[in-house]
Amino acid sequence: MGKQLLFDTLKGKETVRPPWVPFAGIHAGKLTGYNAIELLTKKDALLESLLEVHKLYKPDGQPIIFDLQVEAEILGCDLFWSASTPPTVSSHPLKDRKEVPCLCKVPSKDSGRLPLILEVMEEMKKRVGEETALYGLICGPFTLASHLRGTTIFMDMFDDPDFVKELIHFAGEVGKAMAKMYIEAGMDIIAVVDPLVSQISPTHFNEFMRDTFTDLFEDIRKQKAYSSFFVCGDATKNIEVMCQTKPDSISVDENIDILKAKEITDQYNLTIGGNIPLTTVMLHGSQMDNIKYAVDLLDQLDKFQHFILSPGCDMPYDTPVENTIGVSQAAIEFKQMKETVKDYTSTDYSSIKIDLPDYTNLQKPLIEAFTLDSDSCAACTYMWGLVTDVKEELQDDIDIIEYKFTSKEAIARCIKMGVKNLPSVYINGKLAYSSIIPTKQELIDKIKESL
């Protein structure tokens, strides 16, 4: 049974095959003809889509909803909705004031979209919960604090560290409340998804977040549920400090060398999951590309222990069904699929012709932001938001452009530019920031250095 296979993996047992967890968030709607807005706001649409995911992809573990804005919406953030991506935060209630919300603001079962989500969780538990482990995803404390405060929180770390600690502590209490409701609704694993952890140093993590995360994972453990610390972006520098907060598992995306990260998580007896690339493989690749990637990844493991095969994050809406089925087959029928793709060569994006700007003869500074997708990736949203804020201040003195990793051309451009991690910011063709969100003034000063 897939559920027990996943539980055994989280307990550190060696298994006959790796568990498979497709993070089919908004992609679930694609299977049944619902757009992302319908999927995330209509109970019947969400339930029907999740059952289709379960039927087609044969998951050992399955998330119910992948929307990191549920808590932010409840706490007063406005959302921008899109038909093909999760919503993004478009306003920050604490942007212009340093104020930690009262604990009376912590979400309850009747807050926002929670009645819909909890009802679907309970129904999924009845329908598939005996055979499949169910994931409840909550917004991590740092990302939630950033939703409330905006990018100013990065400057606050220097100007008013006590305020930042208090705000993150409040966000941790929100996380506890969300986890409790989700566990009561039947969730087996609580994934604390905090993309912005990749954008800070281990020193700042330990100073501002370690205690809050540790407390949150301990609270989940006391409720007899498993936990996952889910981070996006290049969080390589933070893998060890994340382990020290004592989750049961860690999930990472394609920005991280998962086998090297596993060397660290193994030392802490933790399971790691990931990190099938969302766009180059799952969205734009063929079914054979997907089988090949999964097989090659699994083939590098000495044994199937402490490892979960999964996408790096929320799968793109338009991911071809056959691609995800291919990954499922690679997990379930590893030896057979290994033989199938032994002579297969994966898709090469470097053949796509890309013309780069003449960086040495620009009339004014050019700021290029390379993102996974600022409409769906929280870290990318804040990085691109910072660039647009700087543009608003400097006006016509600079040019800006975003390249989203969702198109084949952008993928080829990243290859040609040598972009290693997302999000990254380049100034006049030279790397300025990689997986670190600077303050607004730092970016302005860096731009002025280029003049």
Of 193, 377, 369, the C-alpha closest to 279 is 377
- Reported as type and span, the H/E element at residue 136 is strand 133-139
pLDDT score for 376: 78
pTM (predicted TM-score): 0.89
> What is the DSSP annotation of 411-439?
HHHHHHHT--SSSEEEETTEEEEES----
Q: Is the pLDDT of residue 5 over 80?
A: yes
Q: Is the pLDDT of residue 3 over 90?
A: yes
Strands 133-139, 307-311: pairing kind: unpaired
pLDDT digits (tens, 9 = 90+) for 80-110: 999 999 999 999 999 999 999 999 999 999 9
Distance CA 58, CA 67 (A): 22
The answer to whether the CB of 188 falls within 8 A of the CB of 221 is: no
Please give the average per-residue pLDDT across 34-50, as a whole number.
98
Per-residue burial over 358-392, b = 16 or more CB atoms within 10 Å of its CB, e = otherwise: eeeeeeebbbbbbbbbbbbbbbbbbbbbbbeebee
Q: Is the pLDDT of residue 348 over 80?
A: yes
Per-residue burial over 100-132, b = 16 or more CB atoms within 10 Å of its CB, e = otherwise: bbeeeebbeeebbbbebbbebbebbbeebbeeb
pLDDT digits (tens, 9 = 90+) for 398-419: 999 999 988 999 999 998 999 9
Beta-strand (E) ranges in 144-207? 189-193
Angle of helix 141-149 relative to helix 161-184, nearest 10 degrees, comes to 120
Angle of helix 114-128 relative to helix 161-184, nearest 10 degrees, comes to 40
pLDDT score for 436: 85
Q: Is the pLDDT of residue 324 over 80?
A: yes
Average pLDDT score over the chain: 95
Q: What is the DSSP letter of 14?
A: B
pLDDT digits (tens, 9 = 90+) for 10-29: 999 999 999 999 999 999 99
Q: Which two tokens stand for residue 386?
A: 């910072």
Percentage of residues in the chain with pLDDT exceeding 70?
100
Of the pLDDT bands very low, low, confident and very high (cuts 50, 70, 90), residue 218 is very high
pLDDT digits (tens, 9 = 90+) for 231-254: 998 999 999 999 999 999 999 999
What CATH number does the domain located at 2-340 have? 3.20.20.210
Q: Is the pLDDT of residue 451 over 80?
A: no
pLDDT digits (tens, 9 = 90+) for 416-448: 999 988 899 999 999 999 988 888 999 999 998
Of the pLDDT bands very low, low, confident and very high (cuts 50, 70, 90), residue 449 is confident
Q: Which two tokens stand for residue 128?
A: 């598939």
**Range with the lowest mean pLDDT among 163-172, 319-328, 428-437?**
428-437
pLDDT digits (tens, 9 = 90+) for 189-216: 999 999 999 999 999 999 999 999 999 9
Distance CA 144, CA 71 (A): 8
Distance CA 251, CA 292 (A): 21
Structural domain boundaries in the chain: 2-340, 359-449
CB atoms within 10 A of CB 1: 11
CATH 1.20.140.10 fits 359-449, yes or no: no
pLDDT digits (tens, 9 = 90+) for 108-148: 999 999 999 999 999 999 999 999 999 999 999 999 999 99
Q: Which two tokens stand for residue 122?
A: 């309970």
Q: Is the pLDDT of residue 372 over 90?
A: no
